Structure formats: structure tokens, C-alpha cells
Amino acid sequence: MAETIGTVRTGLFIGGVQRDTVDVLEVADPAKAGQVVGYAAAATTADVADAVAAAKAAFPAWSAMSAVERAAIMAEAIAGIADERDADAAVLSRENGKVRFEGWIDSLVFEIRWNLALMLAGEVDTGKTLPVVPGIPVSTEVTYQALGVVSVIVPFNWPIAILGAALPHALLAGNTAIVKPPPSAPLATTRVVQRIAEKLPAGVLNIVTGLDQNMAGLIDSPDIAKVCFTGSVNGGKRIMEMASKSLTRLTLELGGNDAAIFLEDAILDDTHLDRLYAAIFDTTGQICMNAKRVYVHSSRLDELVQGLTARLEKVQLGYGLDADTTMGPLHSPVQKAFVDEIIQDAKDSGAEVREFGQLPTGDLAGGNFVRPALVINPDPMLRVVTLEQFGPVIPIIPFTTEADAVASANDTWAGLGGSVWTASPESASRVGSQLACGYVWVNDHGATRLDLRAPFGGMKQSGFGREQGIEGIRAFQDTRAIATIDAAALAAQAH
């Protein structure tokens, strides 16, 4: 068995009770080949069915409360969540590979999103009245109702923060929930969610971890009202196919191939270059809303490349818990192999490829490390341009006209986000309004500047549905119309 250091163990949490399992998931350290971070419970199909049943049993009482009443309980449940944040961040760094600070922010964003959702409690139950009008002798009350049991499935890269974009909104809307953390990095998420679930009524919030092959009941069970999934495009397609059998509702937040467009008047000072660097290389490039393609006016190409080069020359590849590390490994050997392959493709094509940093040695020599790279003026048909790299490599492509930049940015399967970099608010509005995506930044890009109050989601194969804000809550509700005949209006109509 692989060497185990500082072992972390987590169980399932079903119906208000922690449950251990015979089988477990072995969680590997992506930086240190052969080392294990810990073990997570591996649910059976029966465990999954129990979680669905527990959530279903808890739904009537939870949904019968007002949103304000639910918000008060949820506020008590989140209280003190930061007390173990340092430990949670260390666990997440070890199982995910990201630097410790990002692990800390991961949990912080969850808390912020939770509390922002609670601030909407007064709007959740607010409906409207359609009054009697000539020819329609009824008054209709349009209200909102919860859906039932919701499954929330999150990925490895920012699992806790991403959970915060959906879970509190689902609960506040009156649904009960089952959370499925990623099988390759389930430990920190389970720790955080269980501490909250223990403070909620039994069955309102449940946690199952395990192999995907045993999780079908979270999607195709007739008792599941909705699935909220964040992950790959192919994963979303599989879930959509499974959910179609029971017409289960979906929110899908899938991959991205975000374009960042630098117009001729873009500001390229240290502040803006720092923003761009973070937008590309945070989490070693493994964020769906990271910039994946940079289009820059040809007159500014050299300046932008030089700015990124100066920052990449300082990169320190290493272990996420080490203080001097600025970039950790990729999460899996499969992803490392893919990123290595598309970088080699670019080299073989004759594109200029600049690589930076030194691969770690010693006990990190077998980790999933990739030297970050710039691919300058590549053929637009190369995979480094057309596919989501999900790694520390970025194509930088010059353009001459604004129309060409917009056309190139939109010429993709994805439609998650995009950005416009310019000194002109008018240009930002003009170009941003032409981008076929769900979210547009101006003079910034990515998770660092995401407005956590605003609806977020993709177009095209980046998915559908919206998270965050009141729109995110409505995504976990349906309308109910109650029409009452107005006798006087009916009589008047008869005459």
C-alpha cells in the first residue's frame, strides 16, 4: 500500500448521522507520487438511496418554513465555520495540489456566498398579484415553491467555493440537499459541509462520497427533483442523458474556453498585468473561468508577452504547503499528460513556445508538475487554442481589427466568460456586448473579480442555468399560480 502521512478520514453524513463504510476512497497526493492524503467513505448504492430517502423525509417540514425562518437556522449553522479554516485549507492543498492560500480562500468564498444568499431571504417568498382586467374575471396570486430533493455535485478544483454558488440558494429556497464532493479530492469539502449539516435539522443536508459508478441514484432517482453539476462538458452530457429518463431538472456549469481581448488602448501597467497573470495561472490554470485564450492588438503583442514573461520568470513550482511555492502541480496524472501533449503539439507546429520555472526534484519528482508556458501566435486550429487546456499554458494571438478579435473570441464551442481590456468604457461596452458568453469582465478576468451577487453561468456547451443572486434561488424553485374568480367582474362580463 502507498505510504500514508498525516492521514485524514471522512465518512458519509446521512439523516443527521455520520456513517462509516467498509470500502473507502484512497485520496492521492498529486505532488508526491505514492503518498496518500487520507481516506473517504465509499458509499454503496444503498447508502445513496438512504441519503435520498433522508432528504425526502426532511423536505416537508423544511419547505413549510418561511424563507426568513430557514435563513435564521442557516445563519446559526454557518457560524464558526472559519474556526477550522487553516486545517481545512491544509487538507485541501494536500489533496488538490493548490497552494495553501488558495485553499484558505476556497473556504472563505463558500462562507461569503452563503451569507450573501441569506441576505436575499426577504425576496424568496415574494410573489405578485395579477389583478382583474377587462375580459379576465380572475385575480391570480403567483408564488414560488421549492422543488424537493436536490443533488449538488462539485469538481476538484474549487470544490468548497463552487458549492457555495448553489447549496445555500437551494436550501434557502426550501429544498433539501445531498452534496457529492469530488472523488479525487473529497476530504476538505466533507469536513466543511458536515460541520454545517450537523447544525441543520436531520436530513436537510446530507453528504455522500464514493465512486461515480455507485452514484447514479443522485441523478436518476424519481425522488431527485434537480441536479446541479459543475464539471466537464462530457460529464455534463452524461448527467443530462441520465436525468432525461426522469425529466429531472438540471443546472450545468461546464468547461470554458474564455477569451481575453486586449484592444489597442489597453492599459498594460503592473496592476493590469498582475490581474492577467492571475486570470491565467491561478490554481495552475485549473479554473473553468480562467482566461484560456488571449487576443491582443498586434501593436501591443510584445509588451503583453514581456509583461507575462517577467512574472513567469519568478514562478516557483513546488508543494502547496511550502511557503515559497507559487504554483502547485496539476491535480491528476491524466491532466498532466494532456497538458504536456498540447504543449508538445504547439512546439511541433513551429509556434514559439516559452516555458518557465524548474520542475521539482526529490520527493516531488514524480508529482504532476508542468512548467508554465506561453504559446505565441499559434495556428488557431491547434488544440492549445481550440480546447480547454485546464493547465498552466496560454495561447497569445495577435489581431489587427476589433471585428476579427470578436469573431475569433466567439469561434468556439464554449460560452462561459470573456473579458475586454481597454481604457475606454465605450469600447468595453461595445465589445463586451458582442461576446457570446454568460459573464464579461472589463480590465480583469476570472474568479478573483467575480461579483458573487450576480447570476453566473454559461452558454453553448459551457452549460445552462444560473447560480448566485436571486436568479440562483429561482433556479431551485417553480411558480405556483392560484386564481380566484371575482364574482362582480364575472357578472359584469356576462352583461
Q: Point out the catalytic residue in the list 102, 111, 253, 402.
A: 253
User: CA 413 → CA 131, 261, 266, distances in Å?
Assistant: 45, 17, 27
Query: For every residue of the chain, which 3-state class applies, written as one string?
Result: CCEEEEEEEECEEECCEEECCCCEEEEECCCCCCEEEEEEECCCHHHHHHHHHHHHHHHHHHHHCCHHHHHHHHHHHHCCHHHHHHHHHHHHHHHHCCCHHHHHHHHHHHHHHHHHHHCCHHHHCCCEEECCECCECEEEEEEEEECCEEEEECCCCCHHHHHCCCHHHHHHCCCEEEEECCCCCCHHHHHHHHHHHCCCCCCCEEECCCCHHHCCHHHHCCCEEEEEEECCHHHHHHHHHHHHCCCCEEEEECCCCEEEEECCCCCCCHHHHHHHHHHHHHHHHCCCCCEEEEEEEHHHHHHHHHHHHHHHCCCCECCCCCCCCCECCCCCHHHHHHHHHHHHHHHHHCCEEEECCCCCCHHHCCCCCCCCEEEECCCCCCHHHHCCCCCCEEEEEEECCHHHHHHHHHCCCEECEEEEECCCHHHHHHHHCCCCCCEEEECCCCHHHCCCCCCECCEECCEECCECHHHHHHCCEEEEEEEEECHHHHHHHHC
Taking a C-beta distance cutoff of 8 angstroms, is the pair 107, 90 a contact?
no
User: How far apart are the C-alpha atoms of 157 and 136, rounded to whole Å?
Assistant: 53
Pairing state between β 224-230 and 249-253: parallel
Given the C-alpha cell 454558488, which residue does it identify?
165
Distance of CA 333 to the CA centre of its chain: 21
264 labelled catalytic: no
Taking a C-beta distance cutoff of 8 angstroms, is the pair 174, 158 a contact?
no
Q: Any idea which residues carry the catalytic annotation?
A: 253
